[in-house]
Each structure stands twice: as C-alpha cells, then as structure tokens.
C-alpha cells in the first residue's frame, strides 16, 4: 500500500478570499492563498502534478497541495466533509453514481455553473458534471475506456497475431495456455477489475446487446450480459487468468504480472497506460479493442470526471480559479497528454502512441458502460453497486451462479 503523499508546488502569499466566487479568468496575481486537492488513485498523480504546475505558473500567489487517499477514498472523504474539515477540491465520480448528487443535496459542494468556463467541454463530458441542470464538477476530456493491452515482443516471439474476430481471440487464449508457461491474461480477483474486463468482452461477445444499453432497450440482466459473464467464468476455469489468479487481489499485482512479461495480455482501463510505463519503461506493448465475430469493434466508456469544489472552502476564489484552470483547454491538454489517455475531444490529441492505437481500434464505436446503466436506472440508490460488486466476486469464486447475480440486480432496477 502506497503511503499518502502531499506536495506544495508554489510559495503562497497572504491569504485572500471572498464569500462570492469570481471567474478565475478575471485575475491571476490578485488571487492568493492555499488550497488542498484530493485525488483518489495514484495512477492520476503525474497528470495532477502537471496541471498544478500549469496552474501555478498563472497563479503564482496560490499554494497548491495534493493528497492521494487510495482505496478508502470515499469513506475518508465523506467523513472529512461531514466534519467540515474536507479539502478545498476533491475528485468525485460525477453523476455516474449517487455520491456527488448526494453531496449536492446536502449543500456540500459549490455550484460551478456561472463560475467556471466549460466551453471546451463536450456534451458527453458535461453529463457527468451536471445535476438538476447545474454543474458541480469539472470533467476530464480523457475517455475512460477499456482495452486489451498486449506484449508485442511475446506476440512476435511466439508468432501470435492480434485477433480480428472474437473466436480468434478465444483461440489465442487457448493457444497461449496450452503451448506456453505464459499467462494469457493478467487478472485480479477484485470487483472493479472484473468489471473492467467484463464490459469490453461483453461488447465483443454481443455488440447488438451492448448498443442497446445506450437507451436502456437492453436490460442489465439480458442475454448479452449473462452470456459474456458466463464466458469469462469459463475462461477463468480454463486457466486463462493463471492457475492461482483468485489469490491476486491487487491491481498493482495484476499490472506487475503484465509488465514483467509473465502475462501476454491484460484487459483493463486505459488509465493504466501511465502505470505500465512507470512499471517498465522498456516494455514494448500495444493495445486493441476486442473484436466482435463480424470483425467490428468498439470502446466502452465515457469521459472521465474530475474535481468538485468544497462549498465550505476557506478560499473560494483560489479553489474556483483552480477548477476554472482545469476546465480550460490548456489544463485539459496537460491532463490528457500527461496521463497518456484516449482523448474524448477532437480539439485535444492523444499524446501516447498506445492511446492512439486504442482510438483507431475502436472504429469510432462508443458503447455505454453496463455499470453506468445499472447506476442510472436503479431504484435502490448506491445499494445496487454494493450488490453487483459483491455478487461478481461470488460468481468467480463459484459461490453464486450468473443467473442468480442477474436476478439480484434485476430486482433493483426500474
């Protein structure tokens, strides 16, 4: 477990703030003080540092510190906000879950509608920032999608080809398992990492079903969801995730298996690009979207969400100035290109060659996340996230049948 880090990137002048936020673009040197930003995952650290550095150049009298809280982020954040001692800005998952809307309902975050310039944002990105037709967070124009990362050197040495159909992909897994000591897919036994492999497999297993998730004509317990999850369980039982993968419960260990060459592939979020590079700068790897049987492919995901402003910040001017800088094209470009992400904007080019590969492999097809549909159309609030995250672990450990998991979820849906 990595320890908490705090860093101050600039020297602060005298603190100055007002009760009413001002547009950050109106002034630079007149805004002063100190703010703290909370992020939820170390994978975003380098991008956050780049944005803070860019902001600091424009606002030299604002001192910025950041903290990364890790796996217990949501609980720690909720406790801090309820005690009135929370950070000035903090990451939320936007409207993708009911957490940010809950903060809105309890007057815990600031309304940014007329404070931040969102003109560079896409319509899709703004959906995550919006509750009751007002904006409460700053999205990031990286597309949070999933892809199959693969070790190019291992593929070349063994004569493996990037598959062009779903059956070819499945045959590749069997070939690697049967003829080498290499793990076909590095996978960890954790709810979110299982989701991040399931959704792209779902889109390839049944593209028509996945397209129907966009307007909820496909229900979350439909045959495409059931069949693709059963396929993943079949792969796990066949040893395609490694013989002892149920003991791999850490994202770091999953990543390590791929970056050290023990596994040929890893299916996961594109935000892993930076971490892959940090783990093994010499790794020769690429990525592709898993193809459907007809050869088409698509990418599951949406734009990412960023920071909200604490309604009780002691330095509202500096906090909203930072939010406004994050929303600017400069701030967005720094984030997208530093994190090596897939750009969600035609105005910002992906800087990393692997991110460019992923963009091209998707063929322009964007699929909605199954989990996002579950969260949007549930009747049980955040309880549904607890149910699916617990159930999916039981499915892979053999404690629960896929049909039973789907029945549990269906009972909580509109």
What pLDDT is stored for residue 13 in this prediction? 28
What distance lies between CA 205 and its chain's CA centroid? 22
Both 153 and 232 in one domain: the answer is: yes
- The count of structural domains within the chain is 2
Cα–Cα dist 107/128, whole Å: 18
Both 69 and 90 in one domain: the answer is: yes
Q: Mind listing the pLDDT tens digit for each residue in 172-187?
A: 999 999 999 999 999 9
What pLDDT is stored for residue 126 in this prediction? 93
Residue 171 reports pLDDT greater than 90: yes
Q: Mind listing the pLDDT tens digit for each residue in 266-299?
A: 999 988 998 999 999 999 999 999 999 999 999 9
Nearest to 19 by CA among 314, 296, 255: 314
Both 294 and 175 in one domain: the answer is: yes
Query: What percent of the chain is predicted at pLDDT more than 70?
Result: 93
What pLDDT is stored for residue 4 in this prediction? 36
Q: What is the mean pLDDT of residues 96-123?
A: 93
Count of CB atoms within 10 A of residue 39's CB?
A: 23
Cα–Cα dist 84/16, whole Å: 20
Both 281 and 345 in one domain: the answer is: no
Residue 222 reports pLDDT greater than 70: yes
Calculate the average pLDDT of the chain: 91
SS3 content of the chain, % helix, strand, coil (to 5): 45, 15, 35
What pLDDT is stored for residue 189 in this prediction? 98
**Which of 336, 352, 368 is where one domain is finished?**
352
Both 266 and 311 in one domain: the answer is: no
pLDDT band at 116 (very low <50, low <70, confident <90, very high): very high
What pLDDT is stored for residue 376 in this prediction? 86
What pLDDT is stored for residue 6 in this prediction? 36
Residue 85 reports pLDDT greater than 70: yes
**Per-residue exposure over 204-222, b if at least 16 CB sit within 10 Å of its own CB, e if not:** bbbbebbbbbeeeebbbbb
Both 161 and 223 in one domain: the answer is: yes
Which helix (H) or strand (E) element contains residue 151?
Answer: strand 139-151
Residue 131 reports pLDDT greater than 70: yes
In the block, residue with structure tokens 């698509």: 298
Yes or no: say if 286 and 151 are a contact pair by the CB < 8 Å rule: no
Task: CATH number of the domain at 374, please.
Answer: 3.40.190.10
Both 10 and 137 in one domain: the answer is: yes
Cα–Cα dist 238/173, whole Å: 10
Residue 80 reports pLDDT greater than 70: yes
Both 323 and 228 in one domain: the answer is: no
What pLDDT is stored for residue 26 in this prediction? 46
Both 288 and 310 in one domain: the answer is: no
What pLDDT is stored for residue 8 in this prediction? 35
Both 173 and 69 in one domain: the answer is: no
Nearest to 271 by CA among 333, 336, 339: 339
Is 401 domain-assigned? yes
Q: Mind listing the pLDDT tens digit for each residue in 185-221?
A: 999 999 999 999 999 999 999 999 999 998 999 999 9
DSSP-derived pairing of the beta strands 139-151 and 183-185: unpaired
Q: Mind listing the pLDDT tens digit for each residue in 9-68?
A: 333 222 222 333 334 444 588 899 999 999 998 889 999 999 999 999 999 999 999 999
Nearest to 124 by CA among 301, 382, 264: 301
What pLDDT is stored for residue 302 in this prediction? 76
**Which of 334, 352, 370 is where one domain is finished?**
352
Domain carrying residue 275: 144-302+355-410
Both 81 and 71 in one domain: the answer is: yes
Yes or no: say if 244 and 262 are a contact pair by the CB < 8 Å rule: no
Q: Mind listing the pLDDT tens digit for each residue in 328-378?
A: 999 999 999 998 888 888 888 888 999 989 988 988 788 999 998 998 899
What pLDDT is stored for residue 375 in this prediction? 87
Both 29 and 68 in one domain: the answer is: yes
Is 1 domain-assigned? no
In residues, how long is the chain? Answer: 414
What pLDDT is stored for residue 241 in this prediction? 98
């Amino acid at each position: 477990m990595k320890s908490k880090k705090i860093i101050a990137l600039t020297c602060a002048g005298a603190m100055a703030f007002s009760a009413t936020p001002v547009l950050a673009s109106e002034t630079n040197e007149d805004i002063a003080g100190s703010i703290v930003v909370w992020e939820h995952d170390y994978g975003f650290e380098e991008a956050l540092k780049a944005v803070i550095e860019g902001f600091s150049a424009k606002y030299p009298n604002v001192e910025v510190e950041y903290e990364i809280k890790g796996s217990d982020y949501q609980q720690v954040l909720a406790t801090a906000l309820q005690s009135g001692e929370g950070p000035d800005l903090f990451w939320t998952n936007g409207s993708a879950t009911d957490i940010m809307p809950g903060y809105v309902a309890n007057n815990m975050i600031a309304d940014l509608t007329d404070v931040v310039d969102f003109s560079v944002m896409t319509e899709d990105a703004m959906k995550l920032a919006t509750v009751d037709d007002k904006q409460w967070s700053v999205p990031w124009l990286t597309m949070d999608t999933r892809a199959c990362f693969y070790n190019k050197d291992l593929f070349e040495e063994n004569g493996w080809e990037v598959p062009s159909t779903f059956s070819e992909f499945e045959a590749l897994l069997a070939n690697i398992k049967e003829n080498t000591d290499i793990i076909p897919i590095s996978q960890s036994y954790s709810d979110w990492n299982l989701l991040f492999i399931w959704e792209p497999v779902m889109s390839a297993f049944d593209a028509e079903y996945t397209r129907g998730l966009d307007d909820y004509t496909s229900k979350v317990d439909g045959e495409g969801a059931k069949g693709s999850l059963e396929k993943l369980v079949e792969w796990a039982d066949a040893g395609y995730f490694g013989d002892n993968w149920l003991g791999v419960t850490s994202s770091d260990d999953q990543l390590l298996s791929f970056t050290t060459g023990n596994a040929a592939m890893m299916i996961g979020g594109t935000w892993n690009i930076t971490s892959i590079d940090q783990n093994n700068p010499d790794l020769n790897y690429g990525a592709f979207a898993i193809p459907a049987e007809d050869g088409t492919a698509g990418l599951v995901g949406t734009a990412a969400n960023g920071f909200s402003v604490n309604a009780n910040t002691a330095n509202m001017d500096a906090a909203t100035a930072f939010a406004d800088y994050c929303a600017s094209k400069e701030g967005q470009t720094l984030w997208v290109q530093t994190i090596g992400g897939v750009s969600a904007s035609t105005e910002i080019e992906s800087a990393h060659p692997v991110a460019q590969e992923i963009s091209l492999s998707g063929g322009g097809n964007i699929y909605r996340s199954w989990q996002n549909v579950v969260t949007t159309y549930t009747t049980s609030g955040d309880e549904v996230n607890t149910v699916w995250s617990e159930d999916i672990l039981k499915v892979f450990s053999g404690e629960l049948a896929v049909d039973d998991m789907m029945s549990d979820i269906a009972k909580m849906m509109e």
